[in-house]
Every structure is written in structure tokens, then in C-alpha cells.
Amino acid sequence: MDMENIEIVVGTYENHLLGYKITFDHINTKSVLETSFTDDNHRGALRCVAISPTGILASSSTDDSIRMHSLKKRKQIGGIFEHNGTVNKIVFYGNNHMFSASEDGTICLWKTKNWEMMRTLKGHKSHVMAVAVHPSGKLGLSVGSDRSFFTWDLVTGKLAFQRKLQDVAQNILFTPSGKHYVLAFNKKIEVCSLEDTKTVNVVPTDWRINTVCHVEENIFAIGGDGRQVMVVDVLTGSQLFSLDAAKSEEKDFNSRVKCICALDVNDHKYLFLATASGDIKAFLLNLAKGTSVAVLYGQTKVRITTMGVFDSSRNINDVPKPKEKSQDLDMASETKDSESGKPSDSEDESSDENKSVTATSKKRKIDGDISNSKPPLKKKKKSKGSSDSKANEPKWRKDARDSQLLKTKKKLKGKMKKK
């Protein structure tokens, strides 16, 4: 059975984290949910759940904290209390780094080996709704509740570009190629080109969107207040098929889809969805044929707010690696490790599960603000015959440089007038 090693983790309004294993009922010949663990360390309703490729479960709630557990070791790792607001989004990049975006207007970068805070990205003047990291690890995008859209240069840790959106984006995701990003608004999905930020396609819905999940390549799943989950190709706008979130033969659907997660297991593509009323369904997808089969339905009898899915049988070496190694993330780790005398991540990637840590405000003294931190990479002087030209740089970086030059010229003119 493909799903016997899958663990589903849900967060609830009742401050609980609940884990479920999928077992097969031979009597009724169907898959069922079986409780694997419960945790009540949070003191507020759960807001976000994320699971790393190595099995680290990170969860946030309205108590402003982040709690970490090891799903493989079956134990609690510790807690992070750096943020002064609810953490709306947690994103793992590779095996060694985690991003947390908070309502206090900051985005923190953490090293999962020892949970040291490497950077704090500051710039948002309102709640940070979501953050996304480019597959290369060199670029980050974030959206705020004031319609702000920020582009971060993760090589320097500085804000590179910003603009205002027409509406508040609830979520932001990259496509696997990194050439496009997806913005989730109230009743539409907008696909934009990373090169020039122009809108490539718009996918409208008749209901409010609550969750968006990447399935494969340019295919995403969209769920919300309606009973149908749309599976669409975001670049073409074509809908491949839809999934019914309601119970089999249920006519009236009085709930809403809160979470969607996709998972590859033994060359099979599964999609899991959870409703606010506590129902969990799983579908086996055949994207080539555009078909789906419901393989699991379970009732948790709790009010679900967030969900994550993990395959415990998956080897870390089987996890797809980023297309390009992030200079910022890796070099920042090496710099801090060399200063503190700690071993690098490559020596023991599994040690993050063996350390129990509580990150408090003392960590701020170690890292400080990004404006005071040393850039991980030193700029090399270009030779006259250097092939690296400004003509080949991305448009977002050119716009940021031009904007900075314009500000400098205005300041100089102002000083000349005073004299």
C-alpha cells in the first residue's frame, strides 16, 4: 500500500496539533485515519504548518511562537519566540534553512542545524502575508496586508525592488522553473513573469480562495469556499479537472476547503485536502489522463485551520535539490560557522533533530539587523575583459540600481541649493 508511510498533520482552532497515520481496514476494505500523536503546547489557534524534507515539523499560532518537532524521532525540538506577531507563513528551503514571515512586518531566516537566526529582513510596514524563495535561493518575494510587493536580494539580504499591487495577496508561490510566480487574491489567481513583473495569465473563481498548492510543473490546485477544488495549468488557464471536497453522495456542502497538499509516493501523485469542519480527503491523480480517484475519506471532528503531509519512507537523498546552490544561504552559514568555531552543515545534516533549542531575544545580539550584518559575499573587482556585463542582469536588479541612483542625485541637488 502506497499510503501506509504517509503522516498527515493538522492544526486546529482549539490550539492543538494532531497527527494521523493512514492504515488499511481489511474488514471494510478501505483506508482510514488513525491518530499518531497530539500536541497542545501552543496557546492560540494554529495558523501555519510546514514540514521539511528531513521530517522537521514547524508550526505557528496566534501566540506568536513557532514550535518544532521531529516526526522521525517523535519528539519536540524546541520553540522560537523571536517574532512579535503571528507568523503567517513558514517556508523550508532545502534541508538546512527556514523562513518565517510574521505580522510584525519582518521575515526571519533560520539555520535548522542549530536554529540560529541568520538574518532579519525588514521593510514591510504592515503584516507580511506570505514569502516565497526562488529555486536558486538567491531571490525572495513577499507580500503584505497593505498591498505591498517586495523583491529581496538574498545574496546581500537587502530590499531590491518594491511595488504596490491592486489588491491584497493572500499567498505567493514560484513555479518550479522560477520564471514565473503565482499570486493568490480573494477571487483570482494571477501569474506574473519574474523578468518584467507583467501579468501572464489570470485564473478567476466564483468563490473566495483559501488555499493554493503546487502539484506539478505549471499545474496548481486551488481551493476555497466552494466544494470543488480546481486543478489548473496556470500558464494556459486550462482546467484539467476538479475534485469534490464533499462526502460521497452528499448533496449540501456546508463547509469550505481550508488546506491542500500534494505528495509524490512511489511514482504516484496524491492530493490531500482538509475542510474547516474537520474532513480529510485524498485523491490519486493521473495528470496525463486528467482523471482522479478518491482513495481516502476521514473525519477528525475538529476545526482544521492548516495542514501538512509527510512521507516517512522517503530518503533525504531522494529529495529534489535546488537547481543552483544558494550563495547567500550557504556562504552565510560558512561565515558564521567559521567565526563561532562550529562545524558546517555538511558534516552532520541530521543533527538538527538531535538539538533541543529555545530561540529568544538573545539571538538578536548574535545576528542583529541585516543593515549591520556583513554581506556573505565580497564583491570582486571586474577586469576590463570581464564577460559579466550589466546588460545581462535581471530587470528587477537594474530597476533597483536606477532607483538608488535617482535618490542620490536628488540628495546632491538639494545640498547644492542649500550652499
Q: Domain 2-318, what fold?
A: Methylamine Dehydrogenase; Chain H (2.130.10)
| Phi/psi at 73 (5° precision) | -85, -15
> In the prediction, which pLDDT does 249 show?
77
Which segments of 197-253 are extended strands (E)? 199-204, 209-216, 219-224, 228-233, 239-244
How far apart CA 275 and CA 132 sit, in angstroms, is 24
In this structure, the number of other CB atoms found within 10 A of the CB of residue 216 comes to: 14
| pLDDT tens digits, one per residue of 369-381 | 323 333 344 444 4
How would residue 323 be classed by pLDDT, with cut points 50, 70 and 90?
very low
Q: Where are the domains of the chain?
A: 2-318
| pLDDT tens digits, one per residue of 137-192 | 999 999 999 999 999 999 888 999 999 999 999 999 999 999 999 999 999 999 99
Least confident of 57-66, 260-269, 322-331: 322-331
| pTM for the predicted model, two decimal places | 0.78
Least confident of 24-28, 57-61, 358-362: 358-362
Please compute the mean of the pLDDT values over residues 130-134 and round it to a whole number: 97
Amino acid at 112: T
| pLDDT tens digits, one per residue of 190-227 | 999 999 989 999 999 999 999 999 999 899 999 999 99
